[in-house]
Amino acid sequence: SQTIHQWPATLVQPVGSPLSLECTVEGTSNPNLYWYRQAAGRGLQLLFYSVGIGQISSEVPQNLSASRPQDRQFILSSKKLLLSDSGFYLCAWTWTATGYGYTFGSGTRLTVV
Amino acid sequence: GNSVTQMEGPVTLSEEAFLTINCTYTATGYPSLFWYVQYPGEGLQLLLKATKADDKGSNKGFEATYRKETTSFHLEKGSVQVSDSAVYFCALSHSGGGADGLTFGKGTHLIIQP
């Protein structure tokens, strides 16, 4: 069966510090991978998605970047965090099959102080 | 562009009450529709889905029917329990494979009181 791992679960970082969140998927190959952010009191916002190694699409301009160095690994990064980067970050994967549901990781709670 | 609109709540109900959470969407073509649930401190779990008009998704006593004529996918449950307390998200993806990800509503916070 397929599983998705996301870490760390909780992170407190000072403003201006770098960020690296990692997400890995097991039990499948060539998944579509996604990073979402859920800010306090708001819905889910798609940040990045990837359909293959080295292929990254950005949905919104921001202080963040994403990379996919391996087929089942998706990394979210920042060189210098802002207070507004605080939120709940979720990684997700899906197959390309029509209508197949998306499976989410357990999320990372990031607080920038 | 695509959009999903749902009641934000919080919605507070007593145990065993009937639940309806409204969801309407705007999209081109024929999207797939989903309901996700997020329990406190956790990620999202797929609750149910429907991939074409008039399909009914169901799971754990929850149901939703894909209504193309009203562009709606309302979530219902006949008798809610305290354990159903969570945030519920309505979402859509394009039937072309979904590489562009899901479009979510803002979520509905459901509180069930014993």
Q: With 70 as the cut, is the pLDDT of residue B98 above it?
A: no
Which residue among A49, A51, A105 places its CB closest to the CB of B43? A105
Which residues does chain B have within 8 Å of residue A36's beta carbon, measured at their own beta carbons? 101
Q: Do A49 and B99 touch (CB under 8 A)?
A: yes
Rounded to an integer, the average pLDDT of A11-39 is 93
Q: Tens digits of per-residue pLDDT, B72-92?
A: 999 999 999 999 999 999 999
For testing contact with chain B, the best of A98, A106, A109, A111 (most B CBs within 10 A) = A98
- Mean pLDDT on B36-40: 91
The CA-atom distances, in angstroms, between B43 and each of B46, B88, B114 are: 10, 12, 25
The string over A17-46, giving b where at least 16 C-beta atoms fall within 10 Å of a residue's C-beta and e elsewhere, is: eebebebbbeebeebbbbbbbbeeeebbeb
Instruction: Report percent pLDDT > 70 for chain A.
Output: 93
Where does the pLDDT of residue B9 fall: very low under 50, low under 70, confident under 90, or very high at 90 and above?
A: confident
pLDDT band at B97 (very low <50, low <70, confident <90, very high): very low
Query: How are beta strands A73-78 and A65-70 bridged, if at all?
Result: antiparallel
Q: How far is B89 from chain A (nearest CA, A)?
A: 8
Task: Dump pLDDT digits (tens) for A39-66.
Answer: 876 778 889 989 889 999 887 767 899 9
